Structure 1
Amino acid sequence: MRGFVGVLLAELMVPGTAMASELAGQLPELLYAGEAVAQRDGFAADCDAGSTDACFGTGIIDLIIAAEGLSQALYRHGATTPDMAAASMFLGMPDGMGEGMGNPNPEPLDYDGLRAILDDFVSGLDQAQQAFVLAGEAGDYVITIDPLRVRLDLNGDGVVDEGETLAALLADVMELPEGRTKGDKTSSVDTTIGFDRADAFWFAGYTQVVATPVDLLLAHDFSEIFAAAGHRIFPQAGLPMQEFSRGGTLVMDPETDTLLADMIAVVHTASFPVVEPERLKGVLSRMQAVTALSRQNWEAILLETDDNRELVPSPSQTSLVPDLEVTEEVVAAWMDTLDRVDEILSGELLLPHWRFSQGFDLKAYFETAEETDLVMLLTGQGALPFLRDGPIADAESFGAGNAVFGDRWPNFAIWFN
């Protein structure tokens, strides 16, 4: 699994109540050396004393702890990427990563163990969010960090080597900026970002973006699908079908046929009883927190008067993202999009279902569902309890966003969260 970006400090000058943290000034080099986690208690103490830059550092460290915890747990149990491009992208691992690249001596894993791993990950994200929200409350700080130099201990061996930088990890799944060559000289690319108070809300929002699908899964009993296909991700963890990833030939060849059989098993077991109703309701709250934090993010962005390598710029600042400029029209369209999403989450605006003239009440689903059967929801019967009359979302509902973002809306959505 892949880690998250890191960040922290230059100087904090806060009118009134906040103070600057000396320790926070060391954060960039601690991140580059992979030593920030060991200083977590110091950052937390400075945060408690009112230093919002230290709160930002605490949030980043908690984010790293959560990411490392998940990555180390997956490595401990021998996680590999299924030999499918889509699965590779979803898991953030190189396509076709075989067992030889994983843990040569994996530990057994059962369903309860996997739930515990995921629950710890969500708890870590929530802890990071709390610190980020505090960091966003005040502070005129700018923290210049090169995220690609941040190091993470992904396998739990206590060593952060060259292959465990964010740059090395991202190089597996995306094209990174390269320096320009002129003659025999190559100029390096500046990949630093000046993180500030507004970005604390951005990070807080992204903790909830990441936690939401994990918490949605944990609200359900997914033991059957794990037993049926978990060996595709944990091939040596002692799961029921571990020894049968290669069988006889039915249609094509032993490997392909068993893979197809496992995919059919996934569809067959994609019915998940709700075992934690309060957690399912909490998923709705998480999504509402994402839109609320995005609004706080933009409120802080639009108050800025500097232009210091902004993660997300205002219309008066310089964009670091090629071919994506932030204009007043873009900001207005994003706010309109948030309004529509909030209406969907509150049940005021219903989702369309291809089979019915009535709309699907997403709020009612999160608050009352007893089972999530993906096939039955898609085909219609599973959607019946959540259908009602009312306005239904369509392209016109998101007309402002469609007009401004066009087919680039996923780029803006990922960037803005």
Structure 2
Amino acid sequence: MRRLVLSLALVLAAPAAPALARQPVDPSALSREIAQQGIAPTLARLHALSDPAPDERFAIAGLEFLGAVEAAWRWRVTYGVAPFGGMIFGSAAELPQSVPPQPMPPEALAEQTQATLEAMARSRAALEGLAEDEDFGLAISLGDLWFDLDADGRRGMGEGAAELLAGIVWSGMPAFDPETGQAAPPPAPPVIRFDRADAAWLAAYTHLVSGGAELLLAFDPTPSLEKVFAMRARIDESRLAGGEAALPPMLDDFIDPLAVAIDMLRRQPDAGRTRAARAHWQQTIDQNRRFWALVGQESDNAGEWIPNDRQISATGIAFPPGTGAAWQAVLADGEALLAGDRTIPFWRGPMGIDLGAWLEDPAPLPVDGVIQGWALADYFSDAPPVSPESFRRFSDMLLETGPFLAMVMLN
């Protein structure tokens, strides 16, 4: 850890490399095809190619990933699932409720999560070896991307990626004009030129999502959803009969998901899935390192997604010099946690929790036992706790950009 902090300090103290000249980028023909046809039809055409070129292979991988986003968001629109945090893919964005929501079957969450896992695997299959091949370029305009949330095959209001992803993968905010005292017109959606470094970035992201999906499925949400949905139906029937309850119905959307989560954590996790989650997260770190090595070799400044210290991101998000080194220091701490070389500090005393040991041989995590400590008794370790220093430095560096936004981008 001391070496990591020292290395990071040297990077931050070093003079910034001169910026490269910004080069304009035009959207590719494939970008225009997505605008006209949508994600699924374009992906189907690419899958039919007998020998896709490197840029077409990246397009297949990217559209498999974006198709999984589209499917997750369509799932939320179908069942009227409000935005929520956590590990569930596609859970945080605000979505237009364009169709009347249907009652959600208890098995729907597990089925959608499994579908996401399969899409991530297909994306990685298309990326296999791509970051090692000769460079390629694929320019995509964020303004051309859209998600068919209502499954009608047509681009409707609120389905554009520029609207749905504003503040998530691009700034999307109008600048303030000090001369007029008013907001300037919002910036045009960026055109991103993806290359072989971004193939490593995308591979890392598929592993990140897959790890979260495996961990959710390890606890099997279906029995907990069955239990909570059945009780909710009884409660709703009683309300129709009249009378008043001590708690207002407006708390339902807080109480029911919390009950599902607490009940899931009482279950014995599937060790095969927790081990798969750890393997995916280790690959996230490995591919992220490969990405930073490749992006550091770039000598252009054309439509950059995540830039090196001499480039500027076309997204409008500011990545200050040293971002790559700072983020890799954070990932190194995560790697140490997965390996058990570092531990999670226990909240009730100077003890460490071995996350790697739990992922290898998991036990239930009942909330009362976790808070008190007895549910973690088999996972206390003498390994030193992870220090918050690397993450603090990373957060301080990206205070203006927003560390959470940067983490979403950097995976």
TM-score tier (shorter): 0.7 to 0.9
- CA distance in structure 2 between the aligned counterparts of 1:306 and 1:245, rounded to whole angstroms: 64
**What residue in structure 1 maps to residue 32 of structure 2?**
29
Q: Give the secondary-structure state (helix, strand or coil) at the position aligned to 1:372.
A: coil
Select which of 290, 293, 298 maps to 1:304. 298
**What residue in structure 1 maps to residue 286 of structure 2?**
292
Change (3 A) 1:322 1:276: same
Deviations 1:110-163 (A, max 9, x none): 333432222112211221133234432323222222123312222222333343
Asked if 1:339 corresponds to 2:332, the answer is yes
Pairing of 1:217-228 with structure 2 (within 5 A): 217-227=216-226
- CA distance in structure 1 between the aligned counterparts of 2:48 and 2:176, rounded to whole angstroms: 43
AA partner of residue 46 (structure 2): F
Asked if 1:377 corresponds to 2:379, the answer is no
AA partner of residue 198 (structure 1): A
Deviations 1:179-207 (A, max 9, x none): 89999x96963521222111122222222
Deviation for aligned residue 1:85: 10
TM-score w.r.t. the length of structure 1 is: 0.76
CA contact (8 A) 2:320 2:398 kept: no
Pairing of 1:82-121 with structure 2 (within 5 A): 91-94=91-94, 101=97, 103-104=99-100, 106=102, 109-121=104-116
Select which of 123, 130, 133 maps to 1:135. 130
Asked if 1:313 corresponds to 2:307, the answer is yes
Q: Between the two proteins, what is the percent identity of the paired residues?
A: 21
Deviation for aligned residue 1:406: 6.1
AA partner of residue 126 (structure 1): A
**What residue in structure 1 maps to residue 46 of structure 2?**
43
Q: Give the secondary-structure state (helix, strand or coil) at the position aligned to 1:145.
A: strand
CA contact (8 A) 1:361 1:387 kept: yes
- CA distance in structure 1 between the aligned counterparts of 2:220 and 2:39, rounded to whole angstroms: 36
- CA distance in structure 2 between the aligned counterparts of 1:126 and 1:261, rounded to whole angstroms: 34
AA partner of residue 298 (structure 2): E
Change (3 A) 1:339 1:261: closer
- CA distance in structure 2 between the aligned counterparts of 1:190 and 1:102, rounded to whole angstroms: 24
- CA distance in structure 2 between the aligned counterparts of 1:403 and 1:261, rounded to whole angstroms: 35
Pairing of 1:163-182 with structure 2 (within 5 A): 163-170=158-165, 176-178=172-174
AA partner of residue 218 (structure 1): L
Deviation for aligned residue 1:51: 1.9
**What residue in structure 1 maps to residue 270 of structure 2?**
276
Q: Give the secondary-structure state (helix, strand or coil) at the position aligned to 2:345.
A: coil
Deviation for aligned residue 1:357: 2.7
- CA distance in structure 1 between the aligned counterparts of 2:378 and 2:99, rounded to whole angstroms: 45
Deviation for aligned residue 1:262: 3.6
AA partner of residue 342 (structure 1): E
Deviation for aligned residue 1:379: 2.6
Deviations 1:21-52 (A, max 9, x none): xxx95311121123442243543465x73621
Change (3 A) 1:346 1:63: same
CA contact (8 A) 1:71 1:155 kept: no
- CA distance in structure 2 between the aligned counterparts of 1:333 and 1:139, rounded to whole angstroms: 28
- CA distance in structure 2 between the aligned counterparts of 1:169 and 1:393, rounded to whole angstroms: 35
Change (3 A) 1:204 1:243: farther
AA partner of residue 92 (structure 1): A
CA contact (8 A) 1:128 1:207 kept: yes
AA partner of residue 414 (structure 1): V
**What residue in structure 2 maps to residue 55 of structure 1?**
57
Deviation for aligned residue 1:53: 0.8
**What residue in structure 2 maps to residue 198 of structure 1?**
197
CA contact (8 A) 1:180 1:187 kept: no
Q: Which moved more, 1:314-323 or 1:300-309?
A: 314-323
AA partner of residue 351 (structure 1): I
Deviation for aligned residue 1:364: 0.7
Asked if 1:123 corresponds to 2:123, the answer is no
CA contact (8 A) 1:245 1:259 kept: no
Change (3 A) 1:72 1:323: closer
Pairing of 1:342-353 with structure 2 (within 5 A): 342-353=335-346
- CA distance in structure 2 between the aligned counterparts of 1:396 and 1:187, rounded to whole angstroms: 36
Q: Which moved more, 1:168-177 or 1:215-224?
A: 168-177
Change (3 A) 1:245 1:81: farther
CA contact (8 A) 1:205 1:294 kept: yes
Structure 2, unpaired ranges of 5+: 1-24
Change (3 A) 1:74 1:335: closer
AA partner of residue 201 (structure 1): A
**What residue in structure 2 maps to residue 415 of structure 1?**
409
CA contact (8 A) 2:343 2:352 kept: yes
Structure 1, unpaired ranges of 5+: 1-9, 12-23
Deviation for aligned residue 1:212: 2.5
- CA distance in structure 2 between the aligned counterparts of 1:243 and 1:90, rounded to whole angstroms: 32
Asked if 1:360 corresponds to 2:353, the answer is yes
- CA distance in structure 2 between the aligned counterparts of 1:93 and 1:146, rounded to whole angstroms: 20
Q: Give the secondary-structure state (helix, strand or coil) at the position aligned to 2:194.
A: strand
CA contact (8 A) 1:358 1:388 kept: yes
- CA distance in structure 1 between the aligned counterparts of 2:112 and 2:43, rounded to whole angstroms: 21
- CA distance in structure 2 between the aligned counterparts of 1:283 and 1:85, rounded to whole angstroms: 19
CA contact (8 A) 2:191 2:314 kept: no
Change (3 A) 1:32 1:244: farther
CA contact (8 A) 2:224 2:263 kept: yes
Structure number with the bigger relative contact order (C-alpha 8 A, sep ≥ 6) is: 2
CA contact (8 A) 2:64 2:122 kept: yes
- CA distance in structure 2 between the aligned counterparts of 1:245 and 1:374, rounded to whole angstroms: 30
Change (3 A) 1:140 1:160: same
Deviation for aligned residue 1:350: 1.1
CA RMSD of aligned residues (A): 3.9
Q: Give the secondary-structure state (helix, strand or coil) at the position aligned to 2:220.
A: coil
AA partner of residue 221 (structure 2): F
Deviation for aligned residue 1:330: 3.0
Q: Which moved more, 1:185-194 or 1:205-214?
A: 185-194
